[in-house]
Amino acid sequence: MSSTNPVPDLEAGIQYWATQPANYDGVLGGFGTGSLPRVDSLGSRRFLLDLLPELSTVPSPFRSVSVSPSETRRIRALDVGAGVGRVTSDVLLPLVSDVVLLEPVESFINEARSRGKASESGLEINDSGYRVLWKGIADRSKSVTFFKGSLQSFDPVEPGIPLDRVGCLPQDGDDDTKSKFDVIWCQWCLGHLNDDELVQFLERSKKALRDARSLIVVKENICREQNAIFDEQDSTFTRSDLAFKNIFRDAGLKIIQEKIQHGLPEGLYPVKMYALRETSHALQ
């Protein structure tokens, strides 16, 4: 791509989102109240459970009754470009123990925080049709830690100082903010990065994966054109399947599962989920 072609601009992207309402409709471009949030989050949970069946909270007849300590360890996920915490609340908290949430836009992270706080106090204020109480927060069995920042500057290995945390606290004052992740979830936000920034973010994320089963999940709109389409309104790229695949390869990541999200309203870009592992670990 020649240097004269437009590329995403960090500030322009943040400015765009700051004009949008801090709710599901805002982060989903007006699709917050129809079937999309439910179809999307069920598709995401199913995708994740197929890859990591051990995250299932439903007892399996095939699993042994005696549970070893390694099976009971806390599962950690990172939700980047998290908006108002939709993926945290509807996909990740139902399946994992601790979520770290990254979002740069003030009004969005404030909304996510206040939903987390409301969950902590057990207040169900269901005025907008989505589940208000975040799973495991009122009984403090799970946690969400909030970081304000952009993907361009965030390092999942060294996340810095959190803004806040709700739910359970690390045991014995232990600091778990530098612990690695079992799942890093990137949804509808990677278009804000140019190709170099995206490769670098994925390389940093790869170093923050806990072990050989850990995953990076990318769930994004896909264009049918050769490479990418630039959208001036929010200063983003919509990339093609091939463009994503080239970027994953450059970041040293291997695709272990890819799937189209079916059931979304017509007229939208196709949405695709990719599960990625470090190339040397992609044994499955």
Q: Is 187 in the site for ligand SAH (CB under 6 A)?
A: yes
CB 255 to ligand SAH: min, Å: 20
Torsion of CA 117, 119, 124, 127, to 10 degrees: 60
Q: Is 103 in the site for ligand SAH (CB under 6 A)?
A: yes
Q: Is 83 in the site for ligand SAH (CB under 6 A)?
A: yes
Site for ligand SAH in 242-261 (CB under 6 A): none
Q: Is 238 in the site for ligand SAH (CB under 6 A)?
A: no
Q: Is 205 in the site for ligand SAH (CB under 6 A)?
A: no
Site for ligand SAH in 11-70 (CB under 6 A): 13-14, 17, 27
Q: Is 171 a known ligand-binding residue?
A: no
Q: Which is nearer to ligand SAH, 177 or 194 (CB)?
A: 194
| Interface stretch with ligand SAH, choices 9-17, 41-49, 53-61, 223-231 (CB under 6 A) | 9-17
What is the rounded distance in angstroms from the CA atom of residue 24 to the CA atom of residue 37? 8
What is the rounded distance in angstroms from the CA atom of residue 214 to the CA atom of residue 19? 35
Q: Is 34 a known ligand-binding residue?
A: no
Q: Is 235 in the site for ligand SAH (CB under 6 A)?
A: no
Q: Which is nearer to ligand SAH, 80 or 133 (CB)?
A: 80
What is the rounded distance in angstroms from the CA atom of residue 15 to the CA atom of residue 259? 32
Tokens 């530098």 correspond to 178
Q: Which of 36, 41, 52, 81 binds ligand SAH (CB under 6 A)?
A: 81
Site for ligand SAH in 107-146 (CB under 6 A): 108
Q: Which of 100, 189, 253, 271 binds ligand SAH (CB under 6 A)?
A: 189
CB 66 to ligand SAH: min, Å: 38
Q: Which is nearer to ligand SAH, 17 or 248 (CB)?
A: 17
Q: Which of 48, 78, 93, 105 binds ligand SAH (CB under 6 A)?
A: 105
Q: Which of 114, 152, 240, 257 binds ligand SAH (CB under 6 A)?
A: 152
**Residue 94: how many CB atoms within 10 A of its CB?**
17
Q: Is 151 a known ligand-binding residue?
A: yes
Total binding residues toward ligand SAH, as defined by CB under 6 A: 21
Which DSSP string corresponds to the chain? Answer: --TTS----HHHHHHHHHTS-SSHHHHTTT-SSSSHHHHHHHHHHHHHHHH-GGG--SPPTTS-SS--HHHHSPPEEEEES-TTTHHIIIIITTT-SEEEEEE--HHHHHHHHHHHHHHHTT-----SSS--SPTTTTTTSSEEEEEE--TTT--TTS----SEEEEPPPGGG---TT--BSEEEEES-GGGS-HHHHHHHHHHHHHTB-STT-EEEEEEE-BSSSSEEEETTTTEEEEBHHHHHHHHHHTTEEEEEEEE--SPPTTSPPEEEEEEEEGGG---
Q: Which of 113, 115, 142, 192 binds ligand SAH (CB under 6 A)?
A: 192
Binding site for ligand SAH (CB under 6 A): 10, 13-14, 17, 27, 81-83, 86-87, 103-105, 108, 150-152, 187-189, 192
Instruction: Give the residue ranges of the annotated binding site for S-adenosyl-L-methionine.
Output: 81, 86, 151-152, 187
